[in-house]
């Protein structure tokens, strides 16, 4: 499939255009409130990439785009289906690798290809309109490197681009190591006139130095972009100035690493290879995003997940307790996969993955011990351990400390957002 993506992801509204290299870009609609997974949302699709090292992406979820025709942007890579370019690392990640090589005599639009990479998509396996679409990734860096997590309308094959619509959840160009971009493209606002904004890490931090969560919360009348739970921009139909809102039908997801192109430019003597995009997970939730400021999590015998004695110190036990509406029982589900009370995170003690590991409150630190997925079966799963939040010994007495345990589908592992 030939990509509809175009160069120059610039902020644009009417005739406005702001240079993509600028830092601290002003949003069209500032949205400082942190988005959350709400009680009305359920996890409907996900890939945690827990397969053995060297294995290819799950073919029931991901398919490949192949070729080296430039992809509408004069890119220089040839996309392959080789595990040299996309494979699990055996440590819970899928890795997309861009390499400076041509092992099979691939031909690109400019002659013999100089680079290989991979582009994965869900066009034939999963599409959805509305909800939260998020991925936790560690992106590559370097001049001419262009990682992206994005979506296209499922009618692309029928109506073409940009009528199908495009939502760029995250794009980065290597010469901007601290900034990512979120953009939409549609009829009358595509290519260089795409409408978007950027998010810049503070203090000169680089996205390539760690994992970050990139998400959009999409409803019939808005799309909100966030990084690590920090919403930085919201788009509504009113922002299109009368142009058509085409974000009203199912879209499919794409993730890739391009090499070169009219927007990022091309690799130079400073660019090192191979370059890797490491993906910890991709998750999709149903329904609209945002709106919840916290609420109770109700479990066994109608009792609530509770911070013992309303303590806020690191290590305070998290327990089962009669629901009482206090702040110790107000939990918010955040876009970075954390569940929080008192501004701290639900945490598995010492990052343990064994049955019986206790659960506590701890300063949020981005580790796997603080990642949780509320499934459609009402399990609250810690993906790092692949275990469920569990009421110890089925004991519904007040002050029973909670733990993680192998998921069994039992009532002492069922949790409902109030």
List all residues 6 or more positions away from 113 whose beta carbon is below 8 Å from its beta carbon.
68, 76, 77, 78, 102, 106, 107
Q: How far apart are CA 414 and CA 364, in angstroms?
A: 24
Q: How far apart are CA 326 and CA 308, in angstroms?
A: 11
Q: How far apart are CA 132 and CA 165, in angstroms?
A: 17
Order of strands, sheet of 359-362, starting from the edge strand that comes earlier in the sequence: 36-37, 332-334, 339-341, 344-348, 359-362
The CA-based angle 101-6-268, given to 5 degrees, is: 35
Q: How far apart are CA 128 and CA 417, in angstroms?
A: 23
Beta-strand (E) ranges in 89-128? 94-98, 107-108, 111-112, 115-117, 119-121
Instruction: Please state the φ and ψ torsions of residue 291, each to the nearest 5 degrees.
Output: 100, -30
Question: Catalytic annotation on 124?
Answer: no
**Looking at the DSSP assignment, which residues form a beta bridge with residue 152?**
166, 252
Question: Catalytic annotation on 166?
Answer: yes
The alpha carbons of the chain give a radius of gyration, in whole angstroms, of 22
Q: How far apart are CA 17 and CA 398, in angstroms?
A: 59
Single out the catalytic residue among 75, 171, 262, 377.
Answer: 171
Q: How far apart are CA 348 and CA 365, in angstroms?
A: 12
Single out the catalytic residue among 166, 176, 262, 377.
Answer: 166
Residue 194 near residue 10 (C-beta atoms within 8 A) = yes
Within a 10 A sphere around the Cβ of 2, how many other Cβ atoms? 11
Catalytic residues: 166, 171
């Amino acid at each position: 499939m030939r990509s509809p993506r175009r160069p120059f992801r610039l902020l644009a509204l009417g005739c406005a255009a702001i240079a993509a290299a600028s830092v601290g870009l002003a949003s069209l609609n500032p949205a400082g409130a942190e988005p959350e997974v709400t009680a009305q949302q359920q996890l409907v699709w996900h890939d945690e990439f827990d397969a053995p090292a060297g294995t290819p992406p799950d073919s029931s979820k991901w398919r490949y785009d192949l070729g080296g025709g430039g992809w509408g942007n004069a890119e220089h890579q040839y996309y392959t289906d080789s595990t040299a370019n996309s494979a699990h690392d055996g440590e819970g990640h899928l890795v997309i690798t861009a390499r400076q090589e041509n092992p099979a005599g691939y031909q690109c639009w400019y002659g013999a290809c100089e680079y290989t990479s991979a582009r994965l998509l869900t066009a034939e396996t999963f599409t959805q309109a509305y909800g939260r679409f998020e991925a936790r990734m560690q992106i590559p860096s370097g001049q001419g490197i262009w990682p992206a997590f994005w979506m296209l309308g499922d009618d692309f094959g029928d109506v073409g681009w940009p009528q199908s619509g495009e939502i760029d959840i995250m794009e980065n160009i290597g010469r901007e190591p601290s900034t990512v971009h979120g953009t939409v493209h549609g009829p009358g606002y595509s290519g260089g006139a795409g409408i978007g904004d950027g998010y810049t890490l503070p203090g000169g931090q680089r996205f390539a130095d760690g994992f970050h969560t990139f998400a959009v919360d999409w409803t019939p009348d808005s799309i909100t972009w966030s990084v690590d739970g920090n919403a930085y921009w919201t788009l509504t139909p009113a922002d299109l100035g009368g142009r058509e809102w085409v974000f009203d039908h199912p879209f499919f997801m794409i993730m890739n690493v391009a090499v070169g192109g009219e927007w990022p430019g091309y690799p130079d003597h400073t660019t090192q290879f191979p370059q890797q995009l490491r993906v910890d997970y991709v998750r999709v939730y149903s329904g609209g995003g945002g709106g919840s400021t916290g609420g109770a999590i109700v479990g066994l015998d109608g009792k609530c997940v509770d911070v013992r004695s309303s303590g806020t110190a690191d290590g305070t036990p998290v327990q089962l307790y009669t629901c009482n509406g206090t702040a110790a029982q107000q939990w918010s589900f955040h876009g970075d996969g954390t569940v929080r009370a008192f501004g701290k995170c639900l945490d598995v003690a010492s990052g343990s993955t064994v049955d019986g590991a206790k659960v506590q409150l701890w300063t949020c630190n981005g580790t796997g011990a603080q990642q949780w997925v509320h499934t459609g079966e009402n399990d609250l799963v810690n993906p790092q351990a692949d275990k469920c939040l569990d009421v110890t010994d089925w004991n519904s007495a007040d002050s029973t400390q909670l733990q993680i345990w192998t998921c069994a589908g039992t009532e002492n592992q069922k949790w409902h957002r109030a």
